[in-house]
A and B are shown apart, each in its own frame.
Chain A
Amino acid sequence: MPKLGNTVEECLLAKWRKQPGEAVAAGEVIAEIETDKASFDLTAPVAGTLLAAFFNEGALVPVYTNICVIGEAGENAEVFRPSPGVPPPAPEPPAVLPAASEVAAAGAAPAPPAAPVSPPPPAKGTLSPRARRFAERHGFSPGTLSGSGPGGRVLERDIRAAYYSSPRLSSLAARYVESGYEIQAEGSGAGGLVLARDLGEPGVALSGVRARIARRMRESLASTAQYTLNASADATGLLALRGKIKAARANGAAIADVNIGDMIMFCAIRTLVEMPWLNVEFSGGKLYQRSSVHIGFACDTPRGLLVPVVRASEKLTIEELAGRIRALTQQALDGSISPDDLAGGTFTVSNLGSFGIESFTPILNPPQVAVLGVDAIQLKPVRRNGGVEFVDHLGLSLTLDHQVIDGAPGARFLQALRNHVENIESLSGLRFQETLHV
């Protein structure tokens, strides 16, 4: 298992693409692995036969651990099998502890609970023989059941009650449930019998990456006090600069292809340098000021949402920034990005402007406290010279964590950002030769 970045200690073996006995060519994909950020293809370093696979799909494998062996057919692969690194979990303390008062009465200082003496009290959930017989006879698997017997032992009356209170399925419905269908509605048959029509289509488990995105989004909303400020900036300057860059490149000028997204990122970085109170992380009740702006940008890839991070972005010129963004985007799209480039951001930009989105509520990526949403450019009526003119405006949606950023400082940040956007050409430091103006 390769180490995919400095911070990665273990990877999920998501899927075997080759089975033992199959021939593999050098460079051929043998497995899919996932870090907690993204999934990667694992390729065979040499050609040969896959002799052994040491882990099942779904296993978490520490880095630098042998996961399989490629060699000549007939070779002994077992010598490469990793020894079980993790000792089996220690036995749990007994379920029933002496009451504190008893300990006090014995005059002894509270001591750590002793190891269970033989015979141990039956663990919660063990079935009495009669209960087991009932379960077998009724083809019933009670799952986790807390019994009414000593030490939580499940007695026949417990399993009987569970059996008769659990939904009863018609034999047809039972067959569907076996194939993954789920009980969704109350049983509509006689006496509440669950019929086939009461079942819903089988659900599909989320992929590893998707499940992690889901968990992070949930955690984000649960652990922060998010609010979004919406504003718009005059985009005339952005569009003009973009036009100049295009024209200059068309004329063979050695200038990077800086697009509007890059320009907004650049404005955000400059604003963060000036107003560092947004370039912080809030974790465990503590605020951590980050001296460098590691700016992440949301990237829609075939493997799901990824957020590549441009490190120390405040040190880059707008052209360097554009180049770095382009390179990271390409790596994210083709799956070659290093997990290290997907971590450590201090601020995030999410651009949905190209989809015509007029405003939205970006979700924070904790412990970051701010995320900037970039919206579409739209015409907006502006009072000017005693009349009304229609002027291109760029929508900006800034989500902040109210735990640490109040409305006014947040609004000031957005105001400063607007100023930078509206004065992008001077901010960018790009110079154009006068002769380019045709």
Chain B
Amino acid sequence: MSVIENRFEPGVLVTSLDTVINWARRSSLWPMTFGLACCAIEMMCTGFARYDLDRFGSGAFRATPRQSDLMVVAGTVTHLMASRVKLLYEQMAEPKYVISMGSCANAGGPYWEHGYSVLKGVDKIIPVDVYVTGCPPRPEALLDALLYLQNRVIKGRTIARGKAPIFGGGV
């Protein structure tokens, strides 16, 4: 039992600094507008009226990587685009997260077999936190992935050194 138990009136919240910072972080994961192909349209639908990404705090899409926390790789990454994806990922400030949306970003998608210019999964060049399956995934699937990511963020470390360990697979 801690010393400060039952010593304050209702209305005073006691928590750890980690939890507060993580709560702020997970409630305002601002994505970067990184739609590449068809999945981008479903990402846009997720952001708009019916599926409303903004109620989870992720409604402010930033065009510049410097101001965003989350990169949703929505669409096929080609070899030509790969260097740009890596550059943009490196330009994002820590803590940063990546959601790989759709089959193409997961593993090359329907182009895995004969696509000579298609990168077979964006995890070949950048680390991915959550994979969303589908071609394209429904907006509900992307929302589910975002909530999963938010749950991971709230359990992560902030002041202590090192990145949080990665558990589990995709959605």
Tell whether A pairs with B: no
